[in-house]
């Protein structure tokens, strides 16, 4: 467990009852707007998958997925999803979606190895979305335009919430600032990646950090990224400055997905060419799946941000260490 942050003189403007109403209001407004602006249709998604398909997200490669045996199928193992990054691309083909069309879904995951703090929980809930694009759209300009669309949805939501609640002031700037991980490293060479994110987010208010996963000047990546869904040259995180906690808060991770060339290259760099034999990865290499762009947007994260909460446990139900529960109670942080 990382250090619990207690903002000075913090109190939630909403009690538990009104917080629940606020959560629904934020989610309903944002997802409706996002679906409209990106041309997405809502679909149902799995809670668990067959590990042999290669559809589960390996995240940084060291997290252990939650698994269980299915009694009816001779204890065949199933894995609770860690995200739906790969499943969505497969679903777009299976469900017969066309160029320019996309899907979104509620993704609920368990990340048992997560180090919890004010913004991290072992329970993950996000909107996972994915959209079919042409091969010609696999470029930074298209990525930036999509980021701007998602960001406008975030700004519109903040404006909507501020009309409902007097205590919510507008803090998101009109435009989001674009920067690559290499440029950020050059700007703050003596700082850690997380420190760099904090400094740039505080300076700009809202930042799109691009090209995450490949090695930087010091030989290490800015952050871990699985090699088999995002193209490391064409991905991005949307990060905002959050004054309640004085932190950089990531609200969305997204990117143009790997094609046959970038998948092969990234599997080689990551030293896991064995994954090329799995059904999903093989389908990408054989050009059997559509080219796509997609991402995840944290549901609890945006509820926390727009309702100005100090802890993610104020907008989602999870399990926290006893000392955290006790400390939160003492300091007016009402965990659900």
In a domain, 181, yes or no: yes
In a domain, 4, yes or no: no
Question: Which among 126, 252, 300, 316 is annotated as catalytic?
Answer: 126
**Active site annotation includes 111:** yes
- The arithmetic mean of pLDDT across residues 154-159, rounded, is 97
- pLDDT reported for residue 59: 62
- pLDDT reported for residue 18: 93
In a domain, 1, yes or no: no
Give residue-wise pLDDT tens across range 107-150.
998 888 888 899 999 999 999 999 999 999 999 999 999 999 99
In a domain, 316, yes or no: yes
Of 81, 86, 89, the residue nearest 124 (C-alpha): 81
In a domain, 227, yes or no: yes
In a domain, 116, yes or no: yes
- pLDDT reported for residue 256: 93
Question: Which among 130, 137, 231, 237 is annotated as catalytic?
Answer: 237
| Contact yes or no for 59/82 (Cβ under 8 A) | yes
pLDDT band at residue 2, thresholds of 50, 70 and 90?
A: low
**Count of C-beta atoms within a 10 Å radius of residue 108:** 15
| Tally of domains within the chain | 1
Instruction: State which residues form the domain around 306.
Output: 16-330
**Count of C-beta atoms within a 10 Å radius of residue 294:** 29
Question: Which among 253, 262, 299, 316 is annotated as catalytic?
Answer: 253
**Active site annotation includes 125:** no
157 membership: H or E segment, kind and range: helix 140-164
**Active site annotation includes 225:** no
Question: Which among 250, 257, 300, 314 is annotated as catalytic?
Answer: 250
User: What CATH number has the domain bearing residue 221?
Assistant: 3.30.930.10
d(CA 319, CA 111): 12
Query: Which is more confidently placed, 222 or 129?
Result: 129
Instruction: Tell me the range of 11-15, 109-113, 177-181, 282-286 where mean pLDDT is highest.
Output: 177-181
**Active site annotation includes 253:** yes
Question: Which among 12, 57, 121, 130 is annotated as catalytic?
Answer: 57
Question: Which among 31, 89, 111, 299 is annotated as catalytic?
Answer: 111
**Active site annotation includes 223:** no
**Active site annotation includes 218:** no
């Amino acid at each position: 467990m990382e250090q619990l942050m207690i903002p000075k003189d913090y109190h939630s403007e909403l009690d538990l009852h009104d917080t629940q109403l606020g959560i629904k209001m934020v989610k309903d407004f944002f997802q409706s707007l996002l679906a409209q602006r990106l041309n997405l249709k809502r679909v149902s998604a799995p809670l668990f998958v067959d590990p042999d398909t290669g559809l589960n997200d390996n995240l940084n490669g060291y997290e252990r997925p939650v698994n269980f045996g299915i009694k009816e199928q001779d204890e065949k193992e199933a894995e609770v999803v860690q995200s739906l990054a790969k499943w969505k691309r497969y679903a777009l083909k299976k469900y017969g979606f066309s160029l320019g069309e996309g899907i979104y879904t509620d993704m609920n995951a368990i990340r048992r190895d997560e180090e919890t703090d004010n913004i991290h929980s072992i329970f993950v809930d996000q909107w996972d979305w994915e959209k079919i694009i042409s091969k010609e759209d696999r470029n930074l300009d298209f990525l930036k335009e999509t980021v701007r669309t998602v960001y406008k949805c975030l700004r519109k939501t903040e404006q909507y919430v501020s009309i409902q609640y007097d205590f919510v002031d507008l803090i998101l700037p009109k435009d989001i600032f674009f920067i690559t991980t290499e440029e950020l490293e050059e700007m703050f060479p003596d700082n850690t990646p997380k420190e760099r994110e904090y400094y740039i987010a505080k300076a700009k208010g809202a930042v799109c950090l691009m090209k995450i996963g490949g090695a930087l000047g010091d030989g290490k990546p800015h952050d871990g990224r699985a090699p088999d869904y995002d193209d490391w040259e064409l991905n991005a995180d949307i990060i905002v400055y959050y004054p309640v906690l004085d932190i950089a808060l990531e609200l969305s991770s997204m990117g143009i997905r790997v094609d046959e060339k970038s998948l092969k290259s990234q599997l080689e760099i990551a030293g896991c060419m064995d994954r090329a034999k799995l059904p999903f990865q093989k389908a990408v290499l054989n050009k059997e799946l559509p080219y796509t762009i997609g991402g995840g947007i944290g549901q609890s994260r945006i509820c926390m941000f727009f309702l100005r909460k100090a802890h993610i446990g104020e907008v989602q139900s999870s399990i926290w260490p006893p000392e955290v529960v006790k400390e939160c109670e003492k300091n007016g942080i009402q965990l659900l």
